[in-house]
Structure 1
Amino acid sequence: MTRFITRRTALLSAAASATLALTLPGRVLAATTHEIQMLNQHPEDRKLRQVFFPRIAVIEPGDSVKFLATDKGHNAQSADDMIPDGAEPFRGRINEEIEVTFDSPGFYGYQCQPHYAVGMVGLIVVRGDGMMDNLEAAKAARHRGKARAVWGDIWAEVDGMDLSA
């Protein structure tokens, strides 16, 4: 069977190919930057001191998190034993903002180094295939001081969340 390509068919085919090409990297094009504040006092509960707000962020692969140096004396850095295998650890400087892009699905614990023992910790959950691979290892990480209790609260909150996209 001989098939002739008309001008109309060629144009429709080219348009469909262009549309497909634009939608394939759609997650990259639609990447979002989420903001987390580093604070001396929680904005909604004045009794809570030395906090990240929000302390849990659920994001998509390719999204970024910008840690805002809202109050002085804080940094944001990945917590030991609390990032997926192959993911790069990060460490911001005191009083400086840091923006981190997360490509690997999983659970990323983070902390403020000067205020870790008083519980200034948080969690980033990157959804996607393999997201649950490091959950048990992250939950098993050992903590000291008030950070231990705050991590207990964070894990209880995560257990009650629907993390499916």
Structure 2
Amino acid sequence: MLKGLGIAVVLALASGTAFAAEHEVHMRNQGEAGPMVFEPAVIKAAPGDTVRFIPSDKTHNVEGVKGMLPEGVEPFKGKTNEEYTLTLTQPGIYGIRCSPHFAMGMVALIQAGDNPGNLEAAQAVKMPGKAGERMKAYFAELTKP
């Protein structure tokens, strides 16, 4: 009986990560949306999933946008020209930018879970020029039925 209970506990604990997905995002100098893009730039995921950012072209990195991270998520910044894996530890909106190309509009948006509690706060973050235009379009894409 105890052996069976032990196996059930191990399976229950493992099931939380067993179904987590990995999403790949390529950091590119040129893509479908134009120059300096994350592809895909909009991801709907589940808490516990990971997002692997791959520098398909040089001079890119990944950084969380201040004010666009779920509560409890620490700010993060990957190194230029290196892969970065982000684990979506909390449900909510994750705003992403490439530090060297932010002014050129290199941003991305991730929604972890179905009901992002920080959606309004993330939408209120002001972004300059091309980054603001793209982020507005990405929010529209996330919220369309």
TM, length-normalised to structure 1? 0.80
In structure 2, give the amino acid aligned to 1:148. G
- Work out the percentage of aligned pairs sharing the same amino acid: 38
Aligned partner of residue 99 in structure 1, secondary structure: strand
Which has the larger share of strand?
2
In structure 1, give the amino acid aligned to 2:117. D
Shift of 1:101: 1.0
Shift of 1:107: 0.3
Shift of 1:14: 5.2
Spell out the pairing of 1:117-128 with structure 2 (5 A cutoff): 117-127=103-113
CA-to-aligned-CA distance 1:107-133 (integer Å, 9 cap, x gap): 0000001111111100111116xx421
Distance in 1, Cα, partners of 2:124 & 2:105: 17
Aligned residues: 145
Aligned partner of residue 116 in structure 2, secondary structure: helix
2:135 to 145, 151, 157: 151
Q: Which runs of 5+ in 2 are unaligned?
A: none
Distance in 1, Cα, partners of 2:88 & 2:110: 9
Does residue 40 (structure 1) correspond to residue 40 (structure 2)? The answer is: no
Shift of 1:64: 1.1
Computing the radius of gyration from Cα coordinates, the structure with the larger value is: 1
CA-to-aligned-CA distance 1:63-108 (integer Å, 9 cap, x gap): 1111001100111110111001111121011111111111100000
What is the aligned partner in structure 1 of residue 81 from structure 2? 95
In structure 2, give the amino acid aligned to 1:115. H
Aligned partner of residue 43 in structure 2, secondary structure: strand
In structure 2, give the amino acid aligned to 1:54. P
TM, length-normalised to structure 2? 0.90
Distance in 2, Cα, partners of 1:102 & 1:159: 19
Spell out the pairing of 1:25-64 with structure 2 (5 A cutoff): 25-42=14-31, 45=32, 48-64=34-50
Distance in 1, Cα, partners of 2:109 & 2:136: 12
Aligned partner of residue 89 in structure 1, secondary structure: coil
2:11 to 14, 22, 39: 22
What is the aligned partner in structure 2 of residue 140 from structure 1? 124
Aligned partner of residue 122 in structure 2, secondary structure: helix
Larger relative contact order, structure 1 or 2 (CA cutoff 8 Å, min sep 6) = 2
